[in-house]
């Protein structure tokens, strides 16, 4: 092959470079095959027309040059044409073509009688041969041309220079111009090879990059396919159903193949336009519509829990997770899963936590009841003793009364009554017995209040929500939790007029209890070892379409690094035995999932925390409108 000017960057670049050189060689060889044929035809034409005039003036008889052009042209052209057709890539082929091309230059110079313009054919031929990009081909061609000039210049100068006695330096002049062009062409060949090498290296780099990208794409595609299969397996194993909802048709347009596991109906039934409307529980229809509307504009995932009727007739709790929708996307997409058992577990956990709370507060409640019971008992004992002391006085008065009725002497009996009054200390009893009875009444009222609060707090909810007074629930909860905060904090309440809220009041009371106890614990941690007391503020007010309950404390606040975890199940910062980490998780489930409300907080480290419970209440707007 041709000379190599630089070392290959890598084997692939070398292979590409070799292939490019071979391609150039093959194409140039075939080009020269056509050129040989064209030159043969041109040589015959020159022999018929120009050669006779060049050698015999204006007389143009058939000249011997025609025979020369025919046979010599064939001798020069046919071997090169045959090699170019059968072996265009051989080294021999391009050197034969180079020699033949120089032979054609010599023949044309001869046929034209050595005309100077025909000598430019040699220069043009060298330029054509340089397209092989092989300097050795130019060496062969130049050697043939100079050898021809030297031989014929000595033997038959007229065929080269057109005169019988040319100057001696004419041969050197012709050789000089050939060598000069060779130098220029060598430089061009070197630059051309460098460009081909650079292109080969660039192409090799691109191929390597492409192969790397394709390999990564194939690997990533395989990973995605495996992940998709794994995800589908997980979704099917857990009963989680992927779905897509058409916002225009208000209907499912795609659901997972295992849809029958949720409601006992195949996927095809889910795609009916009226499917969800017929299956949805009437009480949950608004919540689902709001969730769908929120999902259409939300930038974060949203969710809603609702009841749907199973094919067998019973109600199933489903949780729909709605993914954020991209701009102008006509559909919603998300996941559905059966949370019936989960809700049952949460209800059981709620009941268990309620019992736990009652158990934890039992000693405090017992103390709260014991105090009024104690002074009721003391007062009753005092009244009992006073009554015992009054019995002799009553007996003396009765004897005096009988004697007076019978007309018997009463002086002695009157003295006995006086003595009995002094013994009983009647003035003291008259002053203190009513007070003792009053204290007993107050104590019994206190006990009754505690019992009533316990009853309100622990009253079981029905299956359906019912209107309830949140303020009364808060008051009962504060009474129940008093023993938790009375040693560390004072309570300030701000209960505005709020309308009844349709809810499960017992579950909300548990939420309020958790928040109040947490507030007391936060303050207790902050004031431990000091005589300082904190403050707990509990308020309720009506907002537009909502009722808000705010519970604040002056504790240490919630650090930034754990604010995202406070509602996670089993997360707690309390010591073992004082907290299970379930309180806020259940509170969030009760407020958000069961009541479609919100549970949030604001906290400043070192200052305190405020939790906000907001519950939907359409009547709240009406109340505010009437007040306005």
Q: Are residues 399 and 477 in the same domain?
A: no
pLDDT attached to residue 109:
67
What is the 3 state secondary structure string of 250-313?
A: CEEEEECCCCHHHHCCCHHHHCCCCHHHHHECHHHHHHHHHHHHHHHHCCCCEEEEEEEECCCC
Three-state DSSP class for residue 568: coil
Res. 53: pLDDT tops 50: no
Task: Rank 291-295, 397-401, 619-623 by mean pLDDT and report only the highest.
Answer: 291-295
pLDDT attached to residue 403:
72
Three-state DSSP class for residue 249: coil
Which residues on adjacent β-strands are paired with residue 316?
Answer: 308
Q: Are residues 17 and 115 in the same domain?
A: yes
pLDDT attached to residue 612:
94
Tell me which residue of 79, 94, 107 sits closest to 189, measured CA to CA: 94
Report whether 548 contacts 620 (CB < 8 A): no
Q: Label residue 357 exposed, middle or buried (CB < 10 Å: 0-12, 13-18, 19+).
A: buried
- The least confident of 168-172, 419-423, 598-602 is 168-172
Residues in the chain: 628
Q: What is the C-alpha to C-alpha distance for residues 240 and 383, in angstroms, rounded to an integer? A: 71
**pLDDT level of residue 552 (50, 70, 90 thresholds):** very high
Average pLDDT over residues 257-270: 83
Whether 221 is in a domain gets the answer no
Res. 593: pLDDT tops 50: yes
pLDDT attached to residue 225:
75
Q: What are 10-22's pLDDT values in tens digits?
A: 787 788 778 888 8
Q: Are residues 505 and 581 in the same domain?
A: yes
pLDDT attached to residue 28:
83
Res. 170: pLDDT tops 70: no
Whether 345 is in a domain gets the answer no
Q: How many CB atoms sit inside 10 A of residue 364's CB?
A: 16
Average pLDDT over residues 89-104: 82
Task: Look up residue 545 and give its two tokens.
Answer: 């379409």
Identify which has the larger pLDDT, 602 or 104.
Answer: 602
Contacts of residues 6-15 at CB distance under 8 Å and 24 or more positions apart, as own/partner, are 6/194, 6/197, 8/197, 8/200, 8/201, 9/201, 9/204, 10/201, 10/204, 12/204, 12/207, 12/208, 13/197, 13/200, 13/201, 13/203, 13/204, 13/205, 14/200
pLDDT attached to residue 540:
93
pLDDT attached to residue 232:
64
Q: Which of 306, 338, 370 is the last residue of a domain?
A: 338
**pLDDT level of residue 609 (50, 70, 90 thresholds):** very high
Res. 570: pLDDT tops 90: no
Average pLDDT over residues 499-528: 87
- Beta strand pairing status for 331-338 and 315-322? antiparallel
**pLDDT level of residue 4 (50, 70, 90 thresholds):** very low
Which residues on adjacent β-strands are paired with residue 613?
Answer: 549, 599
Res. 316: pLDDT tops 80: yes
Q: Are residues 196 and 289 in the same domain?
A: no
pLDDT attached to residue 551:
94
Res. 1: pLDDT tops 70: no
Whether 453 is in a domain gets the answer yes
pLDDT attached to residue 222:
82
Res. 553: pLDDT tops 90: yes
Three-state DSSP class for residue 240: coil
Read off the pTM.
0.43
Q: Are residues 330 and 184 in the same domain?
A: no
Q: What is the C-alpha to C-alpha distance for residues 188 and 182, in angstroms, rounded to an integer? A: 10
Which residues on adjacent β-strands are paired with residue 611?
Answer: 551, 601
Task: Rank 126-130, 493-497, 571-575, 582-586 by mean pLDDT and report only the highest.
Answer: 493-497
Q: Are residues 47 and 182 in the same domain?
A: yes
Q: Are residues 445 and 513 in the same domain?
A: no
Q: Are residues 17 and 122 in the same domain?
A: yes
Identify which has the larger pLDDT, 525 or 563.
Answer: 525
Task: Rank 134-143, 203-212, 543-552, 615-624 by mean pLDDT and report only the highest.
Answer: 543-552
Domain CATH code at residue 480:
3.30.565.10
Q: What is the C-alpha to C-alpha distance for residues 350 and 510, in angstroms, rounded to an integer? A: 8
Res. 581: pLDDT tops 60: no
Res. 162: pLDDT tops 60: no
The percent of residues in the chain predicted with pLDDT above 90, rounded, is 6
The percent of residues in the chain predicted with pLDDT above 70, rounded, is 69
Q: Are residues 591 and 496 in the same domain?
A: yes
pLDDT attached to residue 626:
43
Res. 513: pLDDT tops 80: yes
Whether 6 is in a domain gets the answer no
Which residues on adjacent β-strands are paired with residue 432?
Answer: none
Which residues on adjacent β-strands are paired with residue 320?
Answer: 304, 336
pLDDT attached to residue 628:
38
pLDDT attached to residue 492:
93
pLDDT attached to residue 490:
92
Identify which has the larger pLDDT, 502 or 340.
Answer: 502
pLDDT attached to residue 611:
93
Q: Which of 338, 362, 396 is the last residue of a domain?
A: 338
Res. 288: pLDDT tops 80: yes
Average pLDDT over residues 68-77: 67
Identify which has the larger pLDDT, 85 or 627.
Answer: 85
pLDDT attached to residue 198:
84
Phi and psi at residue 621, in whole multiples of 5°? -65, -40
Q: Are residues 155 and 250 in the same domain?
A: no
Identify which has the larger pLDDT, 470 or 369.
Answer: 470
Whether 605 is in a domain gets the answer yes
Res. 491: pLDDT tops 50: yes
Average pLDDT over residues 546-575: 79
pLDDT attached to residue 110:
67
Supply the mean pLDDT for the chain: 76
Domain count, the chain: 4
Q: What are 368-400's pLDDT values in tens digits?
A: 666 666 666 766 776 777 777 777 777 777 776
Res. 48: pLDDT tops 70: no
Nearby residues of 172 by Cβ (< 8 Å), 6 or more positions away? none
Range of the domain at 606: 466-627
Q: Are residues 42 and 126 in the same domain?
A: yes
Q: What is the C-alpha to C-alpha distance for residues 307 and 465, in angstroms, rounded to an integer? A: 14
Res. 557: pLDDT tops 60: yes
Q: How many CB atoms sit inside 10 A of residue 149's CB?
A: 24
Q: What are 522-551's pLDDT values in tens digits?
A: 898 888 888 889 999 999 999 888 899 999
**pLDDT level of residue 577 (50, 70, 90 thresholds):** very low
How does 504-520 read in b/e, with b if 16+ C-beta sit within 10 Å?
bbbbbbbbbbbbbbbbb
Domain CATH code at residue 272:
3.30.450.20
How does 51-74 read in b/e, with b if 16+ C-beta sit within 10 Å?
bbebbeeeeeeebebbebbeebbe
Q: Are residues 477 and 445 in the same domain?
A: no
Res. 613: pLDDT tops 80: yes
Whether 426 is in a domain gets the answer yes
Q: Which of 312, 338, 364 is the last residue of a domain?
A: 338
Q: Token match 């479609």: residue?
A: 596
Whether 232 is in a domain gets the answer no
Average pLDDT over residues 336-345: 77
DSSP for 126-165 reads: HHHHGGG--HHHHHHHHHHHHHHHHHHHHH-THHHHSSSS
pLDDT attached to residue 627:
40
Whether 247 is in a domain gets the answer yes
Three-state DSSP class for residue 529: coil
pLDDT attached to residue 536:
93
């Amino acid at each position: 092959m041709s000379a190599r000017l630089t070392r290959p960057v890598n084997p692939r670049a070398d292979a590409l470079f070799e292939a490019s050189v071979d391609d150039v060689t093959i194409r140039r060889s075939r080009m020269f095959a056509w050129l040989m044929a064209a030159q043969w035809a041109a040589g015959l034409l020159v022999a018929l027309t120009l050669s006779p005039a060049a050698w015999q003036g204006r007389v143009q008889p058939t000249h011997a040059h025609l025979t020369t052009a025919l046979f010599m042209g064939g001798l020069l052209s046919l071997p090169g044409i045959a090699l170019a057709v059968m072996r265009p890539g051989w080294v021999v082929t391009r050197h034969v073509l180079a020699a033949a091309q120089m032979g054609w230059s010599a023949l044309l110079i001869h046929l034209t009688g050595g005309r100077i313009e025909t000598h430019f054919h040699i220069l043009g031929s060298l330029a054509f041969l340089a397209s092989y990009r092989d300097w050795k081909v130019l060496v062969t061609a130049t050697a043939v041309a100079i050898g021809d000039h030297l031989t014929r210049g000595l033997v038959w100068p007229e065929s080269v220079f057109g005169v019988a006695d040319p100057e001696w330096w004419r041969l050197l002049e012709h050789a000089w111009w050939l060598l000069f062009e060779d130098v220029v062409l060598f430089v061009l060949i070197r630059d051309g090879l460098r460009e081909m090498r650079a292109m080969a290296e660039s192409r090799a780099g691109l191929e390597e990059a492409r192969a790397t990208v394709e390999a990564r794409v194939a690997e990533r595609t395989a990973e995605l396919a495996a992940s998709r299969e794994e995800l589908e397996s997980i979704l099917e194993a857990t009963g989680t159903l992927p779905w897509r909802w058409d916002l225009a048709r208000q209907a499912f347009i795609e659901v997972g193949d295992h849809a029958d596991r949720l409601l006992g109906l195949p996927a095809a039934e889910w795609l009916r336009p009226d499917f969800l409307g017929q299956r949805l529980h009437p009480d949950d229809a608004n919540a689902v519509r709001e969730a769908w509307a929120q999902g259409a504009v939300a930038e974060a995932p949203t969710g809603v829990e609702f009841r749907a009727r199973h094919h067998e007739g019973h109600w199933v709790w489903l949780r729909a997770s709605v993914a954020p929708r991209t701009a102008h996307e006509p559909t919603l997409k998300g996941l559905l899963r059966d949370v019936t058992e989960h809700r049952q577990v949460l209800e059981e956990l709620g009941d268990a936590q309620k019992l736990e709370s009652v158990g934890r507060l039992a000693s405090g409640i017992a103390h709260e009841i014991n105090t009024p019971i104690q002074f009721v008992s003391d007062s009753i004992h005092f009244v009992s003793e006073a009554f015992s002391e009054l019995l002799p006085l009553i007996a003396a008065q009765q004897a005096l009364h009988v004697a007076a009725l019978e007309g018997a002497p009463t002086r002695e009996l009157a003295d006995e009554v006086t003595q009995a009054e002094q013994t009983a200390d009647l003035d003291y009893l008259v002053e203190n017995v009513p007070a003792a009875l009053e204290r007993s009444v107050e104590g019994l009222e206190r006990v009754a209040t505690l019992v009533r609060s316990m009853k309100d707090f622990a009253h079981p909810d029905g299956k359906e929500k019912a209107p309830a007074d949140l303020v009364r629930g808060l008051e009962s909860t504060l009474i129940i939790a008093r023993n938790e905060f009375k040693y560390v904090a004072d309570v300030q309440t701000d209960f505005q007029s709020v309308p009844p809220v349709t809810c499960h009041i017992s579950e909300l009371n548990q939420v309020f209890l958790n928040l109040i106890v947490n507030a007391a614990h936060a303050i207790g941690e902050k004031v431990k070892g000091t005589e300082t007391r904190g403050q707990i503020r509990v308020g309720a007010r009506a907002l537009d379409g909502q009722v808000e309950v705010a519970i604040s404390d002056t504790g240490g606040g919630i650090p930034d690094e754990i604010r995202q975890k406070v509602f996670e199940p089993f997360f707690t910062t309390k010591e073992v035995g004082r907290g299970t980490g379930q309180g806020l998780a259940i509170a969030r489930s009760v407020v958000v999932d069961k009541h479609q409300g919100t549970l949030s907080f604001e906290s400043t480290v070192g200052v305190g925390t405020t939790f906000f419970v907001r519950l939907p209440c359409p009547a709240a707007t009406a109340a505010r409108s009437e007040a306005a």
